[in-house]
């Protein structure tokens, strides 16, 4: 005989309350200096969370408002545990890790935003979305990170926290996408435009990763964040390659995409070049020339739009963007000490290597700009 829905919901609520009590015990043990016992209870909470999500499937059977407030309680307790760990570290070392503070702030911001958003959805009479894969992974990663910090596994703390932050950001983007793809809320962006927008959204995060150690000398940065910077740039390049391909393949080529794609490239690349100026990888005059070319071509594109014309991308522009990406990857790859040590004689030329690569990038960029102006003489004649 199958169980009644009310009986199943009661069991999942009891399970959720027990998990909350486990987190309360974790907080108690942290404040009493029993880190290993707290870590053991975190492991119990991890297992209970997995059972709740994948075995009991509480997200599928719970009533909307109950589900919302159970999630709020769970989020508050997770934040309380992370803050307790942060305060403990601050109390003992007088300088707790910055990324731990950032993680606590992101956890709290996510909780507040998700709660307000969910309340708005429920008041509109709409159903809450079930937790997606990214959200489930973010919750599991948060719990794992708690255990790593409690056990003082220094080699894995930063890696786990960065992974948790990225998963939280991914789950937030997924939730926002679910909301705005509903025609009742907003006209949905195409997948191609979403990929393009991701470069703009992630660019400020690249700044934080690049200057994570608050030192303008990038060579002093942690290898974890050097690798993360490289991965982000590769992600920028991949999305730049895919957005146009997907737009054409899915028949979603739009005027917005034609303008947004080059704009996002310029935002991300110019931000990276500004970082290179700060750390000494590029002289100011090179980046100034690149900026002059980019702004001039954008002005030309704006003039064309005012006449109802769309200035198509030139092959030289595509080559320019590709070579800029390759050059950036070469510099960031060379900045990773173990990689540099693998190439015989590379250490001796490293001091001039970034400037040499930036010189090539600057030359190609200027040539591309000249090509755009020569091919757009018919547009300029309307204004000169």
Does residue 58 surpass a pLDDT of 80?
no
Give the model's pLDDT for residue 115.
Answer: 76
Determine phi and psi for 352, rounding to 5 degrees: -110, -10
* Helix boundaries (H) for 32-153: 35-50, 58-61, 64-93, 98-123, 133-150
pLDDT band at 372 (very low <50, low <70, confident <90, very high): confident
Does residue 181 surpass a pLDDT of 70?
no
Q: What are 254's two structure tokens?
A: 């739009």
> Does the pTM of the predicted model rise above 0.85?
no
Of residues 135 and 365, the one with the higher pLDDT is 365
Give dist(CA 157, CA 150) in Å, integer.
10
Query: What's the rounded mean pLDDT across residues 97-114?
Result: 78
Of residues 3 and 270, the one with the higher pLDDT is 270
Of residues 30 and 96, the one with the higher pLDDT is 30
How does pLDDT run across 188-234, given as a tens digit for each residue?
Answer: 556 776 777 777 777 878 888 888 777 778 888 888 889 989 998 99
Of residues 250 and 25, the one with the higher pLDDT is 25
Does residue 95 surpass a pLDDT of 60?
no
Give the model's pLDDT for residue 359.
Answer: 95
- Let me know how many helices (H) and strands (E) the chain has, helices first: 16, 0
Query: For residue 150, which of 250, 256, 42 has the smallest C-alpha distance?
Result: 42
Of residues 314 and 40, the one with the higher pLDDT is 40
Does residue 370 surpass a pLDDT of 50?
yes
Give the model's pLDDT for residue 364.
Answer: 93
Q: What are 260's two structure tokens?
A: 């947004």
Please provide the average confidence, as pLDDT, over all residues in the chain: 79
Query: What's the rounded mean pLDDT across residues 64-74?
Result: 74
Give the model's pLDDT for residue 138.
Answer: 85
Give the model's pLDDT for residue 131.
Answer: 62
> Mind listing the domains of the chain with CATH numbers?
1-188 (1.20.120), 192-384 (1.20.120)
Give the model's pLDDT for residue 333.
Answer: 92
How does pLDDT run across 241-284, given as a tens digit for each residue?
Answer: 777 777 677 666 665 566 667 777 888 888 899 889 888 899 98
pLDDT band at 1 (very low <50, low <70, confident <90, very high): very low
With pLDDT > 90 as the criterion, what percentage of the chain qualifies? 12
pLDDT band at 53 (very low <50, low <70, confident <90, very high): low
Give the model's pLDDT for residue 128.
Answer: 65
With pLDDT > 70 as the criterion, what percentage of the chain qualifies? 77
Q: What are 309's two structure tokens?
A: 């014309």
pLDDT band at 62 (very low <50, low <70, confident <90, very high): low
In angstroms, the Cα distances linking 6 to 10, 14, 63, 144 are 6, 12, 10, 32
Give the model's pLDDT for residue 54.
Answer: 59
Does residue 186 surpass a pLDDT of 50?
no
Give the model's pLDDT for residue 170.
Answer: 78
Give the model's pLDDT for residue 189.
Answer: 58
Give dist(CA 257, CA 254) in Å, integer.
5
């Amino acid at each position: 005989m199958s169980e009644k829905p009310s009986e199943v919901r009661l069991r999942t609520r009891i399970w959720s309350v027990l998990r909350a009590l486990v987190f309360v015990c974790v907080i108690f043990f942290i404040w009493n200096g029993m880190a290993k016992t707290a870590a053991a209870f975190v492991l119990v909470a991890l297992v209970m969370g997995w059972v709740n999500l994948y075995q009991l499937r509480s997200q599928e059977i719970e009533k909307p408002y109950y589900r919302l407030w159970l999630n709020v309680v769970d989020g508050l307790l997770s934040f309380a545990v992370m803050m307790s760990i942060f305060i403990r570290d601050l109390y003992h070392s007088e300088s707790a890790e910055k990324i731990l503070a950032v993680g606590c702030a992101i956890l709290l911001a996510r909780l507040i935003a998700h709660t307000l958003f969910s309340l708005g959805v429920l008041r509109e009479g709409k159903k809450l979305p079930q937790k997606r894969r990214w959200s489930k992974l973010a919750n599991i990663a948060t719990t794992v990170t708690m255990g790593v910090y409690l056990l003082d596994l220094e080699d894995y703390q930063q890696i786990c926290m960065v992974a948790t932050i990225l998963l939280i950001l991914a789950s937030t983007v997924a939730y926002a996408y679910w909301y705005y793809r509903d025609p009742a809320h907003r006209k949905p962006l195409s997948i191609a435009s979403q990929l393009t927008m991701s470069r703009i959204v992630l660019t400020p995060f690249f700044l934080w990763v690049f200057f994570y150690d608050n030192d303008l000398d990038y060579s002093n940065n942690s290898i974890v964040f050097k690798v993360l910077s490289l991965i982000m740039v590769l992600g920028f390049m991949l999305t730049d390659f895919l957005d146009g391909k997907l737009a054409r393949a899915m028949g979603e080529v739009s005027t917005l995409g034609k303008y947004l794609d080059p704009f996002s490239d310029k935002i991300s690349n110019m931000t990276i070049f500004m970082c290179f100026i700060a750390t000494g990888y590029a002289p100011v005059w090179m980046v100034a020339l690149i900026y002059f070319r980019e702004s001039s071509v954008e002005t030309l594109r704006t003039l064309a739009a005012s006449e109802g014309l769309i200035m198509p991308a030139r092959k030289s522009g595509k080559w320019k963007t590709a070579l800029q990406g390759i050059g950036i990857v070469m510099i960031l790859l060379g900045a990773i000490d173990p990689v540099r040590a693998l190439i015989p004689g590379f250490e001796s030329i490293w001091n001039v290597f970034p400037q040499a690569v930036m010189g090539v990038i600057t030359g190609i960029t200027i040539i591309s700009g000249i090509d755009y102006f020569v091919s757009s003489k018919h547009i300029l004649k309307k204004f000169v």
